[in-house]
Structure 1
Amino acid sequence: MNEKRIKNISKFLSLILRHSPETIGLQLDSQGWASIQELMSKAAGKGQRFTVDELLIVVAENDKQRFALSEDNTRIRANQGHSVKIALDLEAVAPPEYLYHGTVGKFMPAIRKEGLLKMSRHHVHLSEKRDTAVAVGSRRGLPVILTVHSGRMFRDGMPFFCSANNVWLTDHVPVKYIEF
Protein backbone atom coordinates (compact mmCIF):
# COMPACT_ATOMS: atom_id res chain seq x y z
CA MET A 1 0.00 0.00 0.00
CA ASN A 2 1.43 3.39 -0.93
CA GLU A 3 2.10 6.28 1.45
CA LYS A 4 -0.72 8.41 0.05
CA ARG A 5 -3.29 5.66 0.62
CA ILE A 6 -2.05 5.10 4.19
CA LYS A 7 -2.23 8.82 4.89
CA ASN A 8 -5.75 9.15 3.47
CA ILE A 9 -7.10 6.25 5.53
CA SER A 10 -5.33 7.56 8.64
CA LYS A 11 -6.86 11.02 8.22
CA PHE A 12 -10.29 9.48 7.72
CA LEU A 13 -9.89 7.34 10.86
CA SER A 14 -8.75 10.39 12.86
CA LEU A 15 -11.84 12.31 11.80
CA ILE A 16 -14.24 9.47 12.56
CA LEU A 17 -12.67 8.00 15.71
CA ARG A 18 -11.58 11.26 17.34
CA HIS A 19 -14.05 13.92 16.27
CA SER A 20 -17.06 13.04 14.11
CA PRO A 21 -18.26 9.44 14.17
CA GLU A 22 -21.72 10.71 13.29
CA THR A 23 -20.38 11.71 9.85
CA ILE A 24 -20.83 8.08 8.82
CA GLY A 25 -23.51 7.18 11.40
CA LEU A 26 -21.06 5.35 13.67
CA GLN A 27 -21.58 5.11 17.43
CA LEU A 28 -18.48 4.80 19.63
CA ASP A 29 -18.84 3.05 22.97
CA SER A 30 -18.09 4.88 26.22
CA GLN A 31 -14.32 4.20 25.88
CA GLY A 32 -14.20 5.23 22.22
CA TRP A 33 -14.19 1.74 20.68
CA ALA A 34 -15.94 0.93 17.41
CA SER A 35 -16.53 -2.38 15.69
CA ILE A 36 -14.13 -2.70 12.75
CA GLN A 37 -16.81 -4.37 10.62
CA GLU A 38 -19.34 -1.62 11.39
CA LEU A 39 -16.73 1.07 10.75
CA MET A 40 -15.83 -0.45 7.37
CA SER A 41 -19.47 -0.95 6.38
CA LYS A 42 -20.54 2.57 7.30
CA ALA A 43 -17.41 4.09 5.74
CA ALA A 44 -18.09 2.21 2.48
CA GLY A 45 -21.64 3.56 2.53
CA LYS A 46 -20.11 7.06 2.41
CA GLY A 47 -17.65 6.14 -0.37
CA GLN A 48 -14.60 5.51 1.85
CA ARG A 49 -13.59 1.90 1.19
CA PHE A 50 -10.65 0.01 2.68
CA THR A 51 -9.88 -3.58 3.53
CA VAL A 52 -9.16 -5.10 6.94
CA ASP A 53 -5.55 -5.63 5.79
CA GLU A 54 -5.26 -1.94 4.85
CA LEU A 55 -6.70 -0.94 8.22
CA LEU A 56 -4.22 -3.16 10.04
CA ILE A 57 -1.34 -1.62 8.08
CA VAL A 58 -2.52 1.91 8.95
CA VAL A 59 -2.73 1.02 12.65
CA ALA A 60 0.68 -0.68 12.65
CA GLU A 61 2.52 1.89 10.54
CA ASN A 62 1.03 5.15 11.80
CA ASP A 63 4.05 7.21 12.85
CA LYS A 64 2.22 8.61 15.87
CA GLN A 65 0.51 5.34 16.81
CA ARG A 66 -2.82 7.14 16.89
CA PHE A 67 -4.97 4.01 16.86
CA ALA A 68 -5.32 0.86 18.94
CA LEU A 69 -6.95 -2.49 18.25
CA SER A 70 -8.75 -4.59 20.84
CA GLU A 71 -7.03 -7.80 21.91
CA ASP A 72 -9.26 -9.83 19.59
CA ASN A 73 -8.75 -7.39 16.66
CA THR A 74 -12.50 -6.79 16.27
CA ARG A 75 -12.58 -3.20 17.56
CA ILE A 76 -10.57 -0.03 17.00
CA ARG A 77 -10.22 3.30 18.76
CA ALA A 78 -8.09 6.43 18.74
CA ASN A 79 -5.51 6.52 21.53
CA GLN A 80 -6.09 10.18 22.38
CA GLY A 81 -7.04 13.55 20.88
CA HIS A 82 -10.79 13.13 21.05
CA SER A 83 -13.20 16.03 20.90
CA VAL A 84 -16.14 13.62 21.34
CA LYS A 85 -17.09 12.55 24.84
CA ILE A 86 -15.38 9.29 25.76
CA ALA A 87 -13.55 7.86 28.77
CA LEU A 88 -10.12 6.44 27.98
CA ASP A 89 -9.93 5.05 31.53
CA LEU A 90 -6.29 6.01 31.95
CA GLU A 91 -4.73 5.91 35.40
CA ALA A 92 -2.89 8.95 36.73
CA VAL A 93 0.88 8.44 36.69
CA ALA A 94 3.92 10.52 37.56
CA PRO A 95 5.28 12.27 34.46
CA PRO A 96 8.91 13.00 33.63
CA GLU A 97 10.26 16.17 35.23
CA TYR A 98 9.82 18.10 31.94
CA LEU A 99 7.46 17.69 29.02
CA TYR A 100 7.14 19.72 25.82
CA HIS A 101 4.31 21.35 23.92
CA GLY A 102 4.50 22.51 20.31
CA THR A 103 2.42 25.45 19.18
CA VAL A 104 2.72 28.52 16.92
CA GLY A 105 3.28 32.20 17.63
CA LYS A 106 -0.30 33.36 17.11
CA PHE A 107 -1.39 31.42 20.22
CA MET A 108 1.33 32.79 22.48
CA PRO A 109 -0.56 35.83 23.84
CA ALA A 110 -3.40 33.59 25.07
CA ILE A 111 -0.98 30.99 26.45
CA ARG A 112 0.99 33.66 28.32
CA LYS A 113 -2.28 34.83 29.86
CA GLU A 114 -4.15 31.56 30.56
CA GLY A 115 -1.60 28.76 30.21
CA LEU A 116 -2.26 25.72 28.05
CA LEU A 117 -5.95 24.88 27.81
CA LYS A 118 -7.49 21.71 26.42
CA MET A 119 -9.87 23.71 24.27
CA SER A 120 -12.23 21.30 22.44
CA ARG A 121 -10.20 18.21 23.36
CA HIS A 122 -10.31 16.16 26.54
CA HIS A 123 -6.77 17.09 27.57
CA VAL A 124 -3.72 19.21 26.84
CA HIS A 125 -1.23 17.08 24.87
CA LEU A 126 2.43 17.02 25.85
CA SER A 127 5.42 14.99 24.68
CA GLU A 128 8.54 13.62 26.29
CA LYS A 129 10.65 14.48 23.27
CA ARG A 130 11.31 17.99 22.06
CA ASP A 131 11.45 16.70 18.46
CA THR A 132 7.88 15.49 18.73
CA ALA A 133 6.75 18.91 19.95
CA VAL A 134 8.58 20.51 17.01
CA ALA A 135 6.74 18.22 14.59
CA VAL A 136 3.38 19.03 16.22
CA GLY A 137 4.01 22.78 16.20
CA SER A 138 5.24 22.67 12.59
CA ARG A 139 1.85 21.48 11.32
CA ARG A 140 0.52 25.05 11.59
CA GLY A 141 3.62 27.10 10.79
CA LEU A 142 6.85 28.08 12.51
CA PRO A 143 6.87 26.10 15.76
CA VAL A 144 7.22 27.56 19.23
CA ILE A 145 8.28 24.94 21.77
CA LEU A 146 7.22 25.34 25.39
CA THR A 147 8.84 23.45 28.25
CA VAL A 148 6.39 22.35 30.91
CA HIS A 149 7.55 21.73 34.48
CA SER A 150 5.40 18.62 34.69
CA GLY A 151 7.18 17.07 37.66
CA ARG A 152 6.47 20.15 39.74
CA MET A 153 2.85 20.23 38.54
CA PHE A 154 2.41 16.61 39.57
CA ARG A 155 3.95 17.20 42.99
CA ASP A 156 1.56 20.15 43.37
CA GLY A 157 -1.37 17.75 42.90
CA MET A 158 -2.18 18.00 39.20
CA PRO A 159 -2.82 14.62 37.57
CA PHE A 160 -1.12 13.36 34.42
CA PHE A 161 -2.02 10.44 32.19
CA CYS A 162 -0.02 8.69 29.50
CA SER A 163 -1.90 7.39 26.45
CA ALA A 164 -1.13 4.08 24.77
CA ASN A 165 1.01 5.94 22.22
CA ASN A 166 3.02 7.84 24.86
CA VAL A 167 1.28 11.19 24.59
CA TRP A 168 1.14 12.83 28.02
CA LEU A 169 -2.23 14.29 28.96
CA THR A 170 -3.36 16.77 31.59
CA ASP A 171 -6.37 19.04 32.03
CA HIS A 172 -4.59 22.42 32.11
CA VAL A 173 -1.07 23.78 32.36
CA PRO A 174 -1.09 27.02 34.36
CA VAL A 175 1.30 29.75 33.23
CA LYS A 176 3.56 29.35 36.27
CA TYR A 177 4.60 25.87 35.05
CA ILE A 178 5.53 26.98 31.51
CA GLU A 179 9.02 27.98 30.47
CA PHE A 180 8.64 30.37 27.54
Structure 2
Amino acid sequence: MIRKCKEHGCFRGEACPYCGAVGDFILDDDREDRLGRFVSGALRHFPEKLELPMYIDGWVSINALTAAAAGKYKWPKKYHIYALVESDEKGRYEIAGGKIRARYGHSIGVILNYPAYEGEFAYYGVSPEEVDVILEQGIHPVKQKYLHLSTTLEKAIEVAMIHTENPSIFKIDAKAACEDGLNVMVANDDILLTDEIPVDYILEIYE
Protein backbone atom coordinates (compact mmCIF):
# COMPACT_ATOMS: atom_id res chain seq x y z
CA MET A 1 0.00 0.00 0.00
CA ILE A 2 1.20 3.52 -0.78
CA ARG A 3 0.11 6.47 1.32
CA LYS A 4 1.34 10.08 1.52
CA CYS A 5 2.41 11.86 4.68
CA LYS A 6 1.99 15.65 4.49
CA GLU A 7 5.30 16.08 6.29
CA HIS A 8 7.50 13.33 4.80
CA GLY A 9 5.97 12.42 1.45
CA CYS A 10 4.96 9.04 0.05
CA PHE A 11 5.63 5.80 1.91
CA ARG A 12 4.65 2.13 1.74
CA GLY A 13 2.75 0.54 4.59
CA GLU A 14 0.12 1.59 7.12
CA ALA A 15 1.97 4.50 8.77
CA CYS A 16 4.75 6.96 7.98
CA PRO A 17 8.06 5.44 9.14
CA TYR A 18 9.26 8.85 10.35
CA CYS A 19 6.31 10.25 12.29
CA GLY A 20 3.69 7.50 12.40
CA ALA A 21 1.06 9.50 10.53
CA VAL A 22 -1.50 7.46 8.58
CA GLY A 23 -1.39 9.89 5.67
CA ASP A 24 -3.56 10.05 2.56
CA PHE A 25 -4.37 6.91 0.59
CA ILE A 26 -2.70 6.62 -2.86
CA LEU A 27 -2.71 2.96 -3.98
CA ASP A 28 -3.80 -0.36 -2.48
CA ASP A 29 -1.50 -3.40 -2.53
CA ASP A 30 -2.97 -4.88 -5.69
CA ARG A 31 -2.71 -1.71 -7.75
CA GLU A 32 0.74 -0.94 -6.37
CA ASP A 33 1.90 -4.38 -7.51
CA ARG A 34 0.31 -4.13 -10.95
CA LEU A 35 1.59 -0.63 -11.63
CA GLY A 36 5.05 -1.57 -10.34
CA ARG A 37 5.26 -4.55 -12.69
CA PHE A 38 4.04 -2.46 -15.61
CA VAL A 39 6.56 0.34 -15.00
CA SER A 40 9.39 -2.16 -14.58
CA GLY A 41 8.56 -3.89 -17.83
CA ALA A 42 8.05 -0.66 -19.74
CA LEU A 43 11.32 0.93 -18.64
CA ARG A 44 13.55 -2.15 -18.50
CA HIS A 45 12.33 -4.71 -20.99
CA PHE A 46 9.70 -3.87 -23.61
CA PRO A 47 9.16 -0.14 -24.33
CA GLU A 48 8.82 -0.95 -28.04
CA LYS A 49 5.80 -3.18 -27.40
CA LEU A 50 4.08 -0.19 -25.84
CA GLU A 51 5.27 2.15 -28.62
CA LEU A 52 6.98 4.10 -25.85
CA PRO A 53 9.74 6.39 -27.21
CA MET A 54 12.95 5.94 -25.20
CA TYR A 55 16.22 7.86 -25.32
CA ILE A 56 19.40 5.81 -25.61
CA ASP A 57 20.15 6.47 -21.92
CA GLY A 58 16.83 4.99 -20.82
CA TRP A 59 14.75 8.12 -20.26
CA VAL A 60 11.11 8.28 -21.38
CA SER A 61 8.49 10.97 -21.02
CA ILE A 62 6.54 10.48 -17.82
CA ASN A 63 3.44 11.71 -19.68
CA ALA A 64 3.94 9.00 -22.30
CA LEU A 65 4.45 6.34 -19.61
CA THR A 66 1.32 7.48 -17.78
CA ALA A 67 -0.68 7.29 -21.00
CA ALA A 68 0.63 3.78 -21.68
CA ALA A 69 -0.27 2.66 -18.15
CA ALA A 70 -3.74 4.20 -18.40
CA GLY A 71 -4.22 2.46 -21.73
CA LYS A 72 -3.74 -0.88 -20.00
CA TYR A 73 -5.41 -0.35 -16.62
CA LYS A 74 -7.57 2.82 -17.11
CA TRP A 75 -7.02 4.09 -13.55
CA PRO A 76 -3.31 5.18 -13.37
CA LYS A 77 -2.59 8.91 -13.10
CA LYS A 78 0.73 10.72 -13.17
CA TYR A 79 0.71 11.17 -9.38
CA HIS A 80 0.48 7.37 -8.98
CA ILE A 81 3.79 6.97 -10.83
CA TYR A 82 5.41 9.75 -8.81
CA ALA A 83 4.21 8.05 -5.61
CA LEU A 84 5.52 4.68 -6.79
CA VAL A 85 8.99 6.14 -7.38
CA GLU A 86 9.10 8.29 -4.25
CA SER A 87 8.10 5.42 -1.96
CA ASP A 88 10.43 2.83 -3.51
CA GLU A 89 13.02 1.90 -0.89
CA LYS A 90 15.15 0.07 -3.47
CA GLY A 91 15.77 3.18 -5.55
CA ARG A 92 14.77 1.47 -8.79
CA TYR A 93 13.74 4.60 -10.67
CA GLU A 94 14.54 8.28 -11.03
CA ILE A 95 12.53 11.24 -12.31
CA ALA A 96 13.95 14.48 -13.69
CA GLY A 97 12.75 17.16 -16.10
CA GLY A 98 9.46 15.46 -16.87
CA LYS A 99 11.18 12.15 -17.69
CA ILE A 100 11.60 8.85 -15.87
CA ARG A 101 14.00 5.92 -16.18
CA ALA A 102 14.94 2.72 -14.42
CA ARG A 103 18.29 3.01 -12.65
CA TYR A 104 19.21 -0.64 -13.27
CA GLY A 105 17.84 -4.01 -14.36
CA HIS A 106 17.63 -3.37 -18.11
CA SER A 107 17.56 -6.20 -20.63
CA ILE A 108 17.36 -3.72 -23.52
CA GLY A 109 20.37 -1.95 -25.03
CA VAL A 110 20.43 1.30 -23.07
CA ILE A 111 23.67 3.19 -22.51
CA LEU A 112 23.62 4.53 -18.96
CA ASN A 113 25.73 7.47 -17.82
CA TYR A 114 26.08 7.34 -14.06
CA PRO A 115 29.06 8.67 -12.07
CA ALA A 116 32.12 6.46 -11.76
CA TYR A 117 32.50 4.46 -8.55
CA GLU A 118 35.12 5.89 -6.19
CA GLY A 119 35.13 3.11 -3.60
CA GLU A 120 37.76 0.37 -3.25
CA PHE A 121 35.78 -2.85 -3.43
CA ALA A 122 32.64 -4.36 -4.92
CA TYR A 123 30.96 -7.71 -4.29
CA TYR A 124 29.09 -10.28 -6.36
CA GLY A 125 27.22 -13.34 -5.16
CA VAL A 126 26.65 -16.63 -6.98
CA SER A 127 25.71 -20.22 -6.25
CA PRO A 128 28.64 -22.51 -5.38
CA GLU A 129 28.17 -24.30 -8.71
CA GLU A 130 29.06 -21.12 -10.62
CA VAL A 131 32.36 -20.41 -8.89
CA ASP A 132 34.68 -22.48 -11.10
CA VAL A 133 33.25 -21.02 -14.31
CA ILE A 134 33.71 -17.47 -13.06
CA LEU A 135 37.28 -18.17 -11.98
CA GLU A 136 37.98 -19.26 -15.55
CA GLN A 137 35.98 -16.69 -17.50
CA GLY A 138 35.39 -13.71 -15.23
CA ILE A 139 32.00 -12.24 -14.33
CA HIS A 140 29.61 -11.33 -17.14
CA PRO A 141 25.96 -10.25 -17.28
CA VAL A 142 23.54 -13.07 -18.00
CA LYS A 143 20.08 -11.74 -18.82
CA GLN A 144 20.73 -8.05 -18.32
CA LYS A 145 22.52 -5.37 -20.30
CA TYR A 146 24.90 -4.57 -17.42
CA LEU A 147 26.55 -6.65 -14.75
CA HIS A 148 25.16 -5.68 -11.34
CA LEU A 149 27.60 -5.55 -8.41
CA SER A 150 26.93 -4.71 -4.76
CA THR A 151 28.71 -2.00 -2.80
CA THR A 152 28.80 -4.09 0.40
CA LEU A 153 29.29 -7.71 1.35
CA GLU A 154 25.99 -7.69 3.24
CA LYS A 155 24.05 -6.49 0.22
CA ALA A 156 25.70 -9.06 -2.05
CA ILE A 157 24.66 -11.84 0.34
CA GLU A 158 21.10 -10.50 0.47
CA VAL A 159 20.84 -10.40 -3.33
CA ALA A 160 22.46 -13.81 -3.85
CA MET A 161 20.19 -15.50 -1.32
CA ILE A 162 17.24 -14.76 -3.59
CA HIS A 163 18.66 -17.45 -5.88
CA THR A 164 20.63 -19.76 -3.60
CA GLU A 165 20.60 -20.70 0.09
CA ASN A 166 24.38 -20.92 0.36
CA PRO A 167 25.94 -18.20 -1.79
CA SER A 168 29.60 -17.70 -2.59
CA ILE A 169 30.61 -14.03 -2.66
CA PHE A 170 33.40 -12.62 -4.81
CA LYS A 171 35.30 -9.62 -3.49
CA ILE A 172 36.33 -7.41 -6.41
CA ASP A 173 39.10 -4.81 -6.67
CA ALA A 174 36.83 -2.12 -8.09
CA LYS A 175 39.39 0.64 -7.59
CA ALA A 176 41.98 -1.15 -9.74
CA ALA A 177 39.34 -1.97 -12.36
CA CYS A 178 38.40 1.70 -12.65
CA GLU A 179 42.04 2.77 -12.79
CA ASP A 180 42.56 0.34 -15.65
CA GLY A 181 39.71 1.86 -17.63
CA LEU A 182 36.72 -0.33 -16.78
CA ASN A 183 33.52 1.66 -16.47
CA VAL A 184 32.07 0.90 -13.03
CA MET A 185 29.07 3.18 -12.42
CA VAL A 186 27.03 4.00 -9.33
CA ALA A 187 23.35 3.26 -9.97
CA ASN A 188 22.37 3.87 -6.33
CA ASP A 189 23.82 3.40 -2.84
CA ASP A 190 23.70 -0.40 -3.12
CA ILE A 191 24.20 -1.18 -6.81
CA LEU A 192 27.07 -0.71 -9.27
CA LEU A 193 26.87 -1.37 -13.00
CA THR A 194 29.62 -2.44 -15.37
CA ASP A 195 30.10 -4.42 -18.58
CA GLU A 196 32.19 -7.23 -17.07
CA ILE A 197 34.75 -8.07 -14.41
CA PRO A 198 37.80 -9.99 -15.69
CA VAL A 199 39.28 -12.66 -13.43
CA ASP A 200 42.31 -10.48 -12.60
CA TYR A 201 40.16 -8.18 -10.44
CA ILE A 202 38.73 -10.94 -8.23
CA LEU A 203 40.55 -10.74 -4.88
CA GLU A 204 38.97 -13.50 -2.81
CA ILE A 205 35.85 -15.59 -2.28
CA TYR A 206 33.70 -15.74 0.83
CA GLU A 207 31.93 -19.09 1.19
Q: Which residue of 1 aligns with 2:104?
A: 80
Select the structure with the greater relative contact order (CA < 8 A; seq sep ≥ 6).
1
Q: Which residue of 1 aligns with 2:25?
A: none
Q: Do structure 1's residue 53 and structure 2's residue 76 form an aligned pair?
A: no
Mean Cα displacement is larger for which, 102-111 or 127-136?
Answer: 102-111
Per-residue CA deviations over 1:7-61 (Å, capped at 9, x if unaligned) read: 4422322221011112322221222111122112222323374222221121112
Whole-angstrom CA distance in 2 between matches of 1:48 and 1:144: 45
Give the alignment of 1:151-162 within 5 angstroms.
151-162=175-186
Pairwise CA RMSD:
2.3
Q: Which residue of 2 aligns with 1:124?
A: 147
Is contact 1:160-1:169 (8 Å) kept? yes
Q: Do structure 1's residue 25 and structure 2's residue 48 form an aligned pair?
A: no
Q: 1:30 to 1:157 in 2, by over 3 A?
A: closer
Extract unaligned runs of 5+ from structure 2: 3-27
Give the alignment of 1:88-167 within 5 angstroms.
88-91=112-115, 93-142=116-165, 143-164=167-188, 167=191
Whole-angstrom CA distance in 1 between matches of 2:172 and 2:74: 40
For 1:46, what is the secondary structure of its paired residue?
helix
Q: 1:109 to 1:48 in 2, by over 3 A?
A: farther
Is contact 1:10-1:62 (8 Å) kept? no
Q: 1:132 to 1:49 in 2, by over 3 A?
A: farther
Extract unaligned runs of 5+ from structure 1: none
Mean Cα displacement is larger for which, 6-15 or 74-83?
Answer: 6-15
Mean Cα displacement is larger for which, 6-15 or 79-88?
Answer: 6-15
Q: Which residue of 1 aligns with 2:96?
A: 70
Q: Which residue of 2 aligns with 1:172?
A: 196
Whole-angstrom CA distance in 2 between matches of 1:141 and 1:48: 39
Amino acid at match of 1:118: P
Bigger strand fraction = 2
* Bigger Rg, structure 1 or 2: 2
Report the TM-score, using the length of structure 1 for normalisation.
0.83
Moved >6 Å (runs of 4+): none
Bigger helix fraction = 1
Report the TM-score, using the length of structure 2 for normalisation.
0.74
Identity %: 28
